[in-house]
Amino acid sequence: MFMNSINKLKILFVFFFSMNAISSQLFTVDDLSEKNYSEMSQQELDENLVIAVKKNNSMVVRKLVEAGANIAETIRYSTPCGEYDTVSTLLEYAQENGYKDITKQLIQARTNKNLSSAIVAASQVGDVDAVKKLMRAGVNSRFMESCSRALVVASEKGYFEIVRELIRGGIDVTYKDGGNIALIVASQKGYLKIVRELIRAGVDANSVDGWGNTALVKVVDSYCGSDKIKMIKLLLNAKCNVNHENKFGNTALKLAMLRNDSAVVHELIQAGADIAQKTKRNICGEESHLIFAINNCNKDVLNQFKKSKKVLLVASQEGKLNFVRDLVREGFDLNVADDNGDTALIIASGYGRVDIVKELIGAGAYINLANKNGDTALIEAVRRGNYDIVKILLGHQKINVKHTNKGGETALKIAIEKAPSPYLDYFSRDESLAREMIAKRLQEFSQ
């Protein structure tokens, strides 16, 4: 029992003197100013440099740096709420806390040691004068990779003047995707002036990050600033592809719909976003933008889709009867056509959308309109073998069964070539058509 007590005292004695030895390596700011720095170990220099920076003692910082303290040391500290730790370099810490003298000293130390490191450091803390000096010293031509990193750092932090100085200094904005990444991070954070400057310098607005995101996709996805629409317009004016799809199958329009952001949806559709474009829904397949909107979005977003000239065409193709009925009730032009001249009726007839065809005909859609190939709804239905729709169209009093397309084909000719066919009976009820059909058959047998 007595020996155990002696051993415990020995342990406490050793621990006390060990702690005393450790604490002797660290000094107060007053101690540091009188200390012989050459006697310090590298660990002492580094640890005390952190203390001096925290205490904003520029004189001690200068002496420690001159003695060889590592200026690349980091500081870990808690946020005001204590939620998480933040790690900053000494340079970042000094700049963030407004320690101007120390900031300049650390940049100068990096400049003396390594121009490549200095240009990044100066850009990181927004030191325009230092960047100008470094560019004049030829850092651009000698350290292209560092300048590229500096451009990204300055763009991410919103240092417009730094970005401008780097560009004016002749930095290659295409080197190792530096300009591309800079554009994406600046766009995502809403730095309009920087984005404009980068685009003016020749950065491609359609450049992508590792996940296939363009600047436009990132802005729609994650920027919430009041000038979001301005940023979107800026990128669209720079010819950013409004229909670009990232590696996850998301377009800018789909991301805007996910957020029910009707203002952004409006801008994208006005800029030509394809409401018929199919994107990945899940592992089971794809769905068009319009179908996604109908199934998932609020009324405000759907109203933006209704401003698209293609909305009736896409809804008819997809077979969305109730939505088509809404469009009909709201007075949409039933005969509007796409670039190929296909109307909603032609499209619905080709895709076999029986209920849509009935709805459109009942609402007064022109039944004999032809597309640029001369194909009518009847020809399209016959060619696709949509028997029920052929039956509906032939039952209409105004149907023109003798219409010939640009290939010299009538609906009857196509029907005969597809024979035996159930809807030949419907053609044969017309005497003249029946004679034509018989003549065609005789011609085939005589060959």
- Mean pLDDT, range 359-370, rounded to an integer: 96
Residue 241 has pLDDT above 90, yes or no: yes
Given a cut of 60, whether residue 84 has pLDDT beyond it is no
Distance CA 347, CA 316 (A): 7
Q: Which residues contact 268 (CB under 8 A, 6 or more apart)?
A: 220, 232, 242, 252, 253, 256
**Residue 354's Cα: distance from chain center in Å?**
39
Please give the helix or strand (H or E) that residue 388 lies within, else none: helix 387-394
Domain ranges of the chain: 26-113
pLDDT of 415 strictly over 70:
yes
Q: Which residues contact 38 (CB under 8 A, 6 or more apart)?
A: 67
CA atoms 179, 180, 185, 188: torsion sign: positive
Of 6-15, 293-302, 386-395, the range with the highest mean pLDDT is 293-302
Half-sphere exposure of 178 (CA within 13 A, CB side): 22
- Dig out the tokens for 10 from the structure: 């020995």
Separation CA 280–CA 270 (nearest Å): 23
26-113: which CATH topology? 1.25.40
Say what the pLDDT of residue 436 is.
Answer: 62
CA–CA gap between residue 312 and residue 332 (Å, rounded): 8
- Better pLDDT: 288 or 415: 288
Instruction: Give the pLDDT band of residue 2 (cuts 50, 70, 90).
Output: very low
Task: Encode pLDDT of 162-218 as tens digits.
Answer: 999 988 888 888 776 777 889 999 999 999 999 999 999 999 999 999 899 999 999
- Whole-number Å distance between alpha carbons of 404 and 354: 24
- Residue-wise pLDDT tens digits, 101-154: 877 777 776 655 555 677 777 888 888 888 887 777 776 656 777 778 889 989
Task: Tell me which H or E stretch contains 384.
Answer: helix 377-384
The helix or strand, by DSSP H or E, that contains position 280, with its residue range, turns out to be strand 278-282
What is the structure's pLDDT at 22?
A: 37
Q: Tokens at residue 422, please?
A: 């159930």
Three-state secondary structure call for residue 287: strand
Distance (Å) of CA 217 to CA 209, 250, 288, 432: 11, 8, 18, 60
